[in-house]
A and B are shown apart, each in its own frame.
Chain A
Amino acid sequence: MSDAPALIADHVSKQFPGGQRPAVDDCSFTVNAGELIILLGTSGCGKTTLLKMVNRLYEPTGGRILFHGTDITQLPATALRRQIGYVIQQTGLFPHMRIADNIAVVPRLLGWQPSRTDARIDELLTLVGLPIDYRQRYPRQLSGGEQQRVGIARALAADPAVMLMDEPFGAIDAITRTRLQGELLQLQEKLHKTILFVTHDVEEALRLADRIIVMRDGKILQFDTPLRVLTEPVDDFVAQLIGADDLLRQLSLLKVGTLTTAPVSPTDVGDGSPQVRANDDVRHALALLLGTGAQRVLVIDDAGHVTGQLGFGDVQRALHHDLAVGS
């Protein structure tokens, strides 16, 4: 792969025949490798249309899209799609194929050795937290949440650098959805995929996003980190959509990792300060600070290494600084 950004949309538009206005209207954005980008907006705002132009299920009527620096129209559509994982709301699992065969679709299209495909199926089932003996089952024998885990495993099968996810948890009950969101974040910590994720669920957007693209009427209104979208909405529509007036609720949705945490020296970690993970929400960190009376929490990564620290002042500064800039 080149050093070019994973995805660039360059003045992309889509006008459907007979549509009153373009479904997607002159959208430009750049996504860096390893970012989880949320496309957020109400239904009909063009977010799904924009997503489907990336894997050429729709062709833009204007502008162009670059995939690792290459104009996607330069690649055969099938070849492009085999390099991009695709997860949709209704799972789209093939009901006549066993779970193993569902997961094996792209590796087989790519002509992998059967033994390699076989090993990959087991690896993926384990990765998404399903028992290996699910291989032989059919999709309808699984619950909705399990089916979507298979959907994600299938999209990851050939280890694509980029994943497109179209409201993947939209049809799943709230409890399972929250769990799957957590699992996706854990997967992302391990795999560092570039993910475009469509949702109309603000809480989901704030919980998952590295950056959020807010759309309305085919246009991009704002492209920013969750924190900045919250604290500096560009207009009343974004403010209202995101619920920018309810700060406490938002603290429960923001990840600790989205705040700029203060660096910490390795020798300065042994005082028994409480620890939080980068994916924990800020409210959790605040609750720890308030509950333990500690001056700071240590932020740790998956391996248990301390990556930073967070105190009341840092939270306050993060919110206030941005608020001040925004007003």
Chain B
Amino acid sequence: MSELRAAYPYLLEHRNEFWQALAIHLELSGAALIIALLISLPLGLWAAKRRQAAEPIINSANALRVIPSLAILFLAEPYLGLGFRPSLVALTILACPPLIINTYAGFRAVDRAVVEAAYGMGMAARQVLRGVEFPLALPVLLAGVRIATVEVIASAALAAFIAGGGLGDFIQRGFSVGRPSIMLVGTIPIALLALVADLVLATAQRMVTPEGQ
């Protein structure tokens, strides 16, 4: 409790630094998620459409999942150096597996009869994808976005270890000087961010799930 009480004055004292770290944290997480989405959506969709593509893609995604996020960060360092960029790369790699797997699962779960009916009624392939397959896959897809978002926001704390910045800076600093109160200045906002993101996406997921389903 005393650590918590000590954290607040420290936060006030380092207000500017905190806002900056928060901004970097959000930027890092947001950019990683967007890039990961741009990579994962087509890959997941391709895997869902082509049986030959499915196995290598899904297996690779699962394999990536096994590598700890810290290892990805440190593996990126020799090639990309220190700072924001390697952190972004590492977090993007981290975000891809749940996005790929859920995109695949979401599109595969769309009832084949519904898709056939859509084509049979004279929809073009793009109209079927946009008007039928995508909205029906969306709840599962969003579940993947939820997992990836929470993972990325939490793991972005590790970026501080390769000088990527973000709220992890406070954790690292607190750890190195042995003051848990400073660590809390990083930890609590990260946890809150992850919680809020999860809540928002859970609501979105509920909203795109059709009634009566």
Contact between A138 and B121 (Cβ–Cβ < 8 Å)?
no
Q: Is the CB of B124 within 8 A of A95?
A: no
Q: Which residue of B lies closest to A106 (CB)?
A: B121
Which of A82-90, A248-256, A260-268 has 4 or more CB atoms under 8 Å from chain B? A82-90
Q: Tell me how far the C-beta of B94 lies from the nearest C-beta in chain A, rounded to whole angstroms.
A: 31
A276 contacts chain B at the CB level, 8 A cutoff = no
Q: Is the CB of A78 within 8 A of B122?
A: yes
Those of B16-48 within 8 Å (CB) of chain A = none
| Chain-A contact segment, one of B109-117, B146-154, B195-203 | B109-117
Contact: B121 with A95, CB < 8 Å? no
User: Smallest Cβ distance from A152 to chain B, in angstroms?
Assistant: 12
Q: Are A95 and B113 in contact (CB under 8 A)?
A: no
Kindly state whether residue B211 has any CB partner on chain A within 8 Å: yes
How many angstroms between the C-alpha atoms of A91 and B117 in the bound complex? Answer: 8
Query: When the two chains form their complex, are residues B114 and A93 in contact, meaning their CB atoms are under 8 A apart?
Result: yes
Q: Provided the pairs A78-B123, A90-B111 are in contact, do residues A57 and B116 lie with their beta carbons within 8 angstroms? A: yes
B213 contacts partner chain A, Cβ-Cβ < 8 Å:
yes
A93 to B212, CA, bound (A): 13
Q: Does B163 make an interface contact (CB < 8 A)?
A: no
Contacts of A105 in B (CB 8 A): 118, 121, 123
For residue A96, CB closer than 8 A to chain B, the reply is yes
B76 within 8 A of A: no
A95 with B136: CB separation less than 8 A: yes
Q: With A138-B210, A138-B211, A140-B212 as known contacts, state yes or no: A93 contacts B117, CB within 8 Å.
A: yes
The reply to whether B113 and A90 form a contact with Cβ atoms under 8 Å apart is yes
Q: A96–B116 contact, CB under 8 A?
A: no
A293 to B125, CA, bound (A): 63
B114–A106 CB distance below 8 A: no
Given A88-B113, A92-B113, A138-B211, decide whether A82 and B136 contact each other with a Cβ distance below 8 A: no
Measured between beta carbons, the chain A residues less than 8 angstroms from B124 are 78
Task: Write out the residue numbers on chain A whose beta carbons fall within 8 Å of the beta carbon of B118.
Answer: 92, 94, 105
User: Smallest CB-CB separation from A80: which chain B residue?
Assistant: B122
Q: Mark out the residues of chain A between 34 and 92 whose CB falls within 8 Å of any chain B CB in the assembled complex.
A: 55, 57, 77-82, 86, 88-92
Q: Which chain A residues lie closer than 8 Å to B210 at the CB level?
A: 95-96, 138, 140
Min Cβ gap A244→B in Å is 34
Residues of B within 8 A of A77 (CB): 122
List residues of chain B with CB within 8 A of the CB of A89: 113
Instruction: Give the complex CA separation of A140 and B210 in angstroms.
Output: 10
Q: How many residues of A contact B (CB 8 A)?
A: 29
Interface residues of A in 265-286 (CB under 8 A from B): none
Shortest Cβ distance from B119 into A: residue: A57
Chain A residues whose C-beta falls within 8 Å of the C-beta of B111 in the assembled complex: 90, 92, 95
Q: A94-B114, A95-B114 are in contact. Are A86 and B213 (CB under 8 A)?
A: no
Chain B: interface residue total (CB-CB under 8 A): 20
Instruction: Please name all residues of chain A whose beta carbon is closer than 8 Å to the beta carbon of B114 when the two chains form the complex.
Output: 92-95
- Distance (Å) between the CB of B96 and the closest chain A CB? 27
Residue of B whose beta carbon sits closest to that of A110 = B122
- What is the CB-to-nearest-CB distance from A5 to chain B, in angstroms, rounded to a whole number? 22
Interface membership of A139, Cβ < 8 A: yes
Say if the beta carbon of A4 comes within 8 Å of chain B.
no
Are B117 and A88 in contact (CB-based, < 8 A)?
Answer: yes
**Chain B residues whose C-beta falls within 8 Å of the C-beta of A96 in the assembled complex:** 135-136, 210, 213
Contacts of B211 in A (CB 8 A): 138, 141
In the complex, what distance in Å separates the CA atom of A81 from the CA atom of B213?
A: 29
Assess whether B212 is in contact with A81, with CB atoms less than 8 Å apart. no
The residues of B that contact A95 with a CB separation of less than 8 Å are 111, 114, 136, 210, 212-213
B-chain residues with CB within 8 Å of residue A57 when the two chains form the complex:
116, 119-120
CB nearest to B127 among chain A residues: A109
For A154, the chain B residues whose CB sits under 8 A away are: 121
Would you call B54 an interface residue if the criterion is a C-beta within 8 Å of the partner chain's C-beta atoms?
A: no
**Complex Cα spacing A79 to B121, Å:** 9
* Complex alpha-carbon distance, A88 and B135, angstroms: 21
Bound together, the chains give a CA A282 to CA B116 distance in angstroms of 38
Query: In the complex, which residues of chain B have a beta carbon less than 8 angstroms from the beta carbon of A90?
Result: 111, 113
Q: A residues engaging B (CB < 8 A)?
A: 55, 57, 77-82, 86, 88-96, 105-106, 109, 137-141, 154-155, 164
A-binding residues in B (CB < 8 A) = 111, 113-114, 116-124, 127, 132, 135-136, 210-213
Given A82-B121, A88-B120, A109-B127, 11 additional A-B pairs, CB 8 A: A81-B121, A81-B122, A82-B122, A88-B117, A92-B118, A96-B136, A105-B118, A105-B123, A109-B123, A138-B210, A140-B213
